[in-house]
């Protein structure tokens, strides 16, 4: 992605527009759905009313929850939703009308906003810091204390349609209990993979609608960029778990998500998928929402390389999973982005080239037009792609191990080029078994879930 030099625009907008106001929200449990509408405004310049709909199902019920608890949860969804709208103009103050947050809570939100917008600040070439970029002010004295909930020992499993959530679905498929899948803004791959895993009638659907006025501002040249989507998903899953009476929220974020996108900085496209965010989020939920909800990433102890090895054991998903953002609306692999190239590379040691070509439509390692992305993924360039991709070391190891797939065929262009680079020479001694058997200890898995991971890799 190209750097935009928007420091002057950032300063001018902040001098012109002073306040982003979180006015509140409306919600209604209708006959067919839960409807939530948020009310935001920036001075008297623009109002935003984004919407979230959750279709009714037999396994979602609000009768056991207090009105105050439901409103406290919805308020928090609005707190993370608002950052998508704040970033268009970046006013110096966020005013909260309906609830009170203490200093500890405000510090949590300032950290999420600042680090979750790290890519946004970097790509817009905006120089700011966590102390000065925004002030959060509460006008209400309304407070809410964490509530104990009577929950079952079951899981909600967010499904995005890629290989990671497929692996989680498979690992948890035979676990006793009544697990549910959760899909935000359903698309072909997410629905198909959940159905293949047996969740056809056990899926929570979340529909999120952006306010068109935000898209209009983007077209007019106001500021735009990446926001921490997984943080929004986190608070929505907490609401869903509360409605469904499920104790566990099992994410599919791996250890690789901790690596910075820009070498030598804290800029991480995947900040809201990182262990640091997961830790902060869990602590916040337990202290201020409910101590009974357990939010964790099932795949945190393992790497993208290990996830690829597990995914390769489930061929029933090969032609339905998709990880390509560019092709998501058409439910295709575009074959021209860094996400497609990364997925092709990380699967290459485990799935034969002919099958990968059938999945992706071509051998991406033979596509010379992908050289720029290839250099970013392998560490030849200093900045990784701003996508959810694995670490440089994982990519390089996967490439080295992919050589074995071409013993009786010509090595593809990008792989051949890589083997002649410094990175290619260094990783020639890569230890496949060590890569597959290393289990990270930095995670929040209870013993039951940790054993599900360990039995796949430790004999």
pLDDT tops 80 at residue 226? yes
Tell whether 293 and 348 lie within a shared domain: no
Tell whether 161 and 238 lie within a shared domain: yes
Evaluate if pTM is beyond 0.85: yes
- Whether residue 448 is contained in a domain is answered as no
Q: How far from the centroid of its chain's Cα atoms is residue 316's Cα?
A: 24
Tell whether 196 and 264 lie within a shared domain: yes
- Whether residue 457 is contained in a domain is answered as no
- Whether residue 155 is contained in a domain is answered as yes
Tell whether 336 and 290 lie within a shared domain: no
Tell whether 128 and 215 lie within a shared domain: yes
Tell whether 360 and 263 lie within a shared domain: no
Higher pLDDT, 96 or 389: 96
Measure the CA dihedral 23/29/31/32, to 10°: 70
Which residue range(s) make up the domain with 202? 7-297
- Whether residue 309 is contained in a domain is answered as no
Q: With H, G, I as helix, E, B as strand and everything else as coil, classify residue 51.
A: strand
Query: How far apart (Å, rounded) are the C-alpha atoms in residues 95 and 137?
Result: 5
- Whether residue 308 is contained in a domain is answered as no
Residue 22 zone, left/alpha/beta (φ > 0; ψ -120 to 50; rest)? beta
Tell whether 330 and 287 lie within a shared domain: no
**DSSP character at residue 333:** -
* pLDDT tens track for 108-120: 999 999 999 988 9
Q: With H, G, I as helix, E, B as strand and everything else as coil, classify residue 346.
A: helix
- The rounded radius of gyration (Å) of the Cα atoms in the chain is 22
Tell whether 106 and 196 lie within a shared domain: yes
Query: DSSP letters along 198-239, please?
Result: T-TTSEEEEEEE--HHHHHHHHTT-------HHHHHHHHHHH
pLDDT band at 267 (very low <50, low <70, confident <90, very high): low
pLDDT band at 264 (very low <50, low <70, confident <90, very high): low
Structure tokens at 193: 């993979």
Measure the CA dihedral 189/78/111/296, to 10°: -50
User: How would you label 79-92 residue by residue, b for 16+ Cβ within 10 Å and e otherwise?
Assistant: bbbbbbbbbbbbbe
Number of domains into which the chain is organized: 2
Tell whether 275 and 350 lie within a shared domain: no
Tell whether 360 and 282 lie within a shared domain: no
Structure tokens at 345: 């590379």
* pLDDT tens track for 120-164: 998 999 999 999 999 999 999 999 999 999 999 999 999 999 999
- Whether residue 453 is contained in a domain is answered as no
Closest CA to 247 of 443, 34, 33, 446: 446
User: Exposed, middle or buried by CB within 10 Å (0-12, 13-18, 19+), for 404?
Assistant: exposed
- Whether residue 455 is contained in a domain is answered as no
Tell whether 154 and 95 lie within a shared domain: yes
* Residues 280 and 115: beta-carbon distance below 8 Å: no
- Whether residue 351 is contained in a domain is answered as yes
Closest CA to 156 of 176, 178, 175: 178
* pLDDT tens track for 156-203: 999 999 999 999 999 998 887 899 999 999 999 999 999 999 999 999
Tell whether 291 and 370 lie within a shared domain: no
């Amino acid at each position: 992605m190209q750097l935009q030099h928007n420091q002057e625009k950032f300063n001018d907008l902040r001098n012109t527009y002073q306040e982003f106001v979180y006015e509140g929200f409306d919600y209604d449990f209708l006959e067919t759905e839960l409807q939530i509408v948020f009310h935001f405004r920036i001075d008297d310049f623009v109002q935003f009313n984004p919407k979230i709909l959750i279709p009714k199902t037999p396994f979602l019920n609000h009768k056991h929850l207090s009105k105050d608890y439901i409103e406290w949860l919805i308020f928090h969804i609005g707190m993370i939703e608002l950052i998508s709208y704040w970033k268009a103009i970046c006013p110096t103050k966020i005013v909260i009308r309906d609830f009170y947050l203490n200093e500890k809570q405000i510090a949590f939100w300032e950290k999420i906003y600042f680090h979750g917008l790290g890519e946004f600040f970097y790509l817009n070439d905006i120089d700011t810091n966590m102390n000065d970029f925004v002030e959060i002010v509460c006008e209400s004295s309304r407070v809410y204390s964490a509530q104990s909930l009577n929950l079952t020992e079951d899981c909600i499993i967010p499904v995005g349609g890629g290989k990671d959530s497929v692996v989680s679905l498979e690992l948890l498929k035979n676990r006793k209990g009544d697990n549910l899948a959760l899909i935000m803004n359903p698309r072909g791959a997410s629905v198909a993979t959940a159905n293949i895993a047996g969740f056809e009638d056990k899926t929570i659907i979340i529909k999120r609608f952006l306010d068109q006025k935000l898209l209009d501002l983007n077209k007019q040249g106001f500021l735009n960029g990446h926001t921490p989507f997984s943080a929004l998903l986190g608070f929505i899953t907490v609401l869903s778990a509360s409605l469904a009476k499920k104790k566990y929220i099992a994410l599919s974020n791996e250890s690789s998500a901790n690596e910075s996108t820009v070498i030598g900085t804290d800029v991480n496209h995947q900040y809201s998928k990182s262990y640091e965010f997961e830790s902060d989020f869990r602590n916040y939920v337990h202290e201020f929402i409910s101590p009974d909800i357990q939010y964790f990433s099932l795949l945190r102890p393992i790497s993208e390389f290990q996830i690829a090895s597990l995914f390769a054991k489930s061929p029933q998903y090969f032609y339905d999973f998709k990880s390509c953002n560019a092709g998501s609306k058409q439910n295709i692999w575009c074959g021209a982005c860094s996400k497609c190239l990364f997925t092709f590379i990380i699967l290459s040691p485990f799935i034969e080239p002919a099958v990968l070509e059938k999945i992706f439509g071509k051998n991406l390692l033979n596509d010379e037009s992908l050289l720029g992305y290839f250099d970013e993924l392998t560490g030849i360039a200093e900045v990784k792609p701003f996508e959810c991709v694995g670490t440089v070391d994982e990519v390089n190891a996967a490439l080295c191990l992919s050589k074995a797939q071409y013993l009786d065929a010509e090595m593809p262009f990008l792989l051949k080029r890589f083997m002649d680079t410094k990175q290619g020479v260094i990783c020639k001694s890569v230890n496949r078994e060590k890569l597959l058997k290393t289990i990270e200890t930095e995670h929040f898995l209870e013993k039951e879930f940790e054993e599900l991971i360990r039995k796949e890799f430790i004999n």
